[in-house]
């Protein structure tokens, strides 16, 4: 047992256990909770800070993060709260995942048990909300948040948004939890967990969760066949997408047939307009970007056809709803190149890890694809609530390490 395992063990147990109530509440409290527990579990022994191999991927993360923070100095957005949330939050999320992921023996078992509790409890709650049309969440919105002022349609949007956010920790942690049960001889429980995640992914009018689940399932299946090869290819493709996608996406949208666009849900048509507008902004300031959190003031107007009529909407509502465009818009080509380098280094480190197991490789592919799908099709890069949730999912990957290399 390492020094400080008791503190780290309690941190892991509390983090996974409280993922259930915080997930039910919309997942927003997961990030500050993980940050607080990372401070509580802070390692004071020197061995933790002297790894066997230089963590080049972590160094790369530090350089990218530093560039993003420096870019705030030329951002037109004058609210510095994101500067502190990102600058302090990301290192704490990484610290939590690495420290709690090193648990062994009884404390690891306890953390795994808390993980299973959090995932299954959240899955059953979302199943109940699916069957009863979000009754519990709707009642809370009406009673405690004065949802009646938004009208019936507005309350429905708030309910689905909250439940869609609640499904994110379930989606990210469902595969690692299922693989842990598989390893321990309980495959039926693992299948049940994935079924609960699938039901949540296809509910609450949150198409991005559906896309994330389907893509994650495909990636997990391919990785089960070729663990190391798939991980190396996956991170290489992501690095290439960070560089190339923002450059070609506006052109692809322009040549998309009108019949295809007409068949899309209104939310996806709106996204296409957001991406086109963001692409135009990137071309005006490509190298260094507009600075951290600049997406908020860089807005405009667009029109979306929905419910039988045209509606005026924001051309850039808070962020571009696409991670690659978001990085280019705010940190420029420099930031995109740094992030691509991080992905290459991280993919190489994971794919070459001596103790990488097949189950662990599947979990890495699942979490990576699900998370990338969420931030490429919907959420903003800097939103801390899903960063904290990603830290929990990344921690669970460490629990699946094995002694022997996969074929």
Q: What is the pLDDT of residues 184-236, one digit of tens each?
A: 998 999 999 999 999 999 999 888 999 999 999 999 999 999 999 999 999 99
In this structure, how many other beta carbons lie within 10 angstroms of the beta carbon of residue 293?
A: 26
- φ, ψ (nearest 5 deg) of residue 313: -130, 170
- Please state whether 65 falls in left (phi above 0), alpha (psi between -120 and 50) or beta: alpha
Quick one: pLDDT at residue 60?
94
355 in any annotated domain = no
Expressed as residue numbers, the domain containing 72 is: 3-210+382-399
7 in any annotated domain = yes
Give the CA distances from residue 29 to residues 37, 358, 387, in Å, rounded to whole numbers and listed in that order.
12, 32, 11
In this structure, how many other beta carbons lie within 10 angstroms of the beta carbon of residue 177?
A: 28
259 in any annotated domain = no
Token pair listed for 192: 């049940």
231 in any annotated domain = no
Q: Which residues are bridge partners to 304 per DSSP?
A: 311
**DSSP output for 310-322:** EEEEESSSSS-S-
Token pair listed for 106: 């009884």
What total of structural domains would you count in the chain?
1
Quick one: pLDDT at residue 43?
86
Quick one: pLDDT at residue 406?
41
Give the CA distances from residue 18 to residues 15, 22, 33, 115, 362, in Å, rounded to whole numbers and listed in that order.
5, 6, 9, 10, 25
229 in any annotated domain = no
pLDDT digits (tens, 9 = 90+) for 278-302: 998 999 999 999 999 999 888 877 6
Q: Are 105 and 20 in contact (CB under 8 A)?
A: no
Which of the residues in the chain have pLDDT under 70?
1-4, 144-154, 302-311, 402-407
346 in any annotated domain = no
Q: Exposure of 153 by Cβ count < 10 A (0-12 exposed, 13-18 middle, 19+ buried)?
A: exposed
276 in any annotated domain = no
28 in any annotated domain = yes
Q: Tell which residue, 319, 297, 294, 298, has the closest CA to residue 381.
A: 319
Token pair listed for 395: 């921690």
């Amino acid at each position: 047992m390492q020094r400080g395992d008791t503190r780290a063990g309690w941190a892991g147990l509390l983090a996974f256990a409280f993922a259930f109530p915080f997930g039910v509440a919309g997942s927003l409290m997961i990030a500050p909770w993980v940050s607080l527990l990372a401070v509580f579990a802070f390692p004071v022994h020197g061995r933790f800070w002297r790894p066997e191999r230089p963590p080049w991927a972590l160094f790369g993360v530090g350089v990218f993060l530093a560039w993003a923070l420096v870019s705030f100095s030329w951002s037109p957005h004058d609210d510095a709260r994101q500067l502190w949330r990102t600058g302090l939050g990301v290192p704490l999320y990484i610290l939590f995942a690495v420290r709690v992921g090193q648990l062994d023996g009884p404390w690891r078992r306890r953390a795994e048990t808390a993980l299973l509790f959090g995932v299954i409890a959240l899955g059953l709650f979302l199943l109940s909300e699916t069957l009863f049309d979000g009754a519990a969440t709707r009642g809370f919105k009406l009673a405690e948040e004065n949802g009646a002022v938004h009208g019936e349609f507005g309350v429905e949007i708030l309910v689905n948004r909250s439940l869609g956010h609640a499904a994110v920790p379930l989606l990210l942690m469902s595969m690692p939890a299922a693989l842990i049960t598989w390893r321990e001889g309980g495959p039926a429980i693992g299948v049940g967990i994935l079924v609960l995640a699938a039901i949540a992914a296809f509910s609450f009018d949150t198409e991005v969760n559906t896309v994330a689940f389907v893509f994650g399932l495909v990636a997990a299946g391919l990785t089960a066949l070729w663990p190391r090869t798939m991980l190396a290819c996956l991170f290489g493709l992501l690095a290439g997408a960070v560089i190339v996608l923002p450059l070609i996406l506006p052109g692809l949208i322009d040549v998309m047939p009108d019949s295809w666009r007409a068949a899309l849900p209104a939310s996806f048509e709106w996204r296409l307009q957001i991406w086109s507008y963001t692409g135009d902004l990137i071309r005006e300031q490509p190298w260094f970007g507009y600075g951290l959190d600049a997406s908020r003031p860089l807005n405009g107007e667009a029109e979306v056809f929905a419910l039988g009529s045209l509606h005026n909407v924001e051309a850039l509502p808070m962020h571009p709803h696409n991670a690659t465009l978001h990085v280019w818009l705010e940190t420029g080509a420099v930031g995109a190149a740094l992030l691509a380098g991080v992905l290459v280094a991280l993919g190489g480190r994971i794919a070459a890890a001596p103790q990488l197991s097949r189950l662990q490789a599947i979990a890495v592919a699942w979490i990576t694809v699900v998370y990338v799908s969420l931030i490429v099709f919907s959420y903003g890069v800097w939103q801390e609530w899903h960063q904290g949730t990603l830290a929990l999912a990344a921690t669970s990957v460490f629990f699946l390490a094995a002694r022997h290399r996969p074929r």
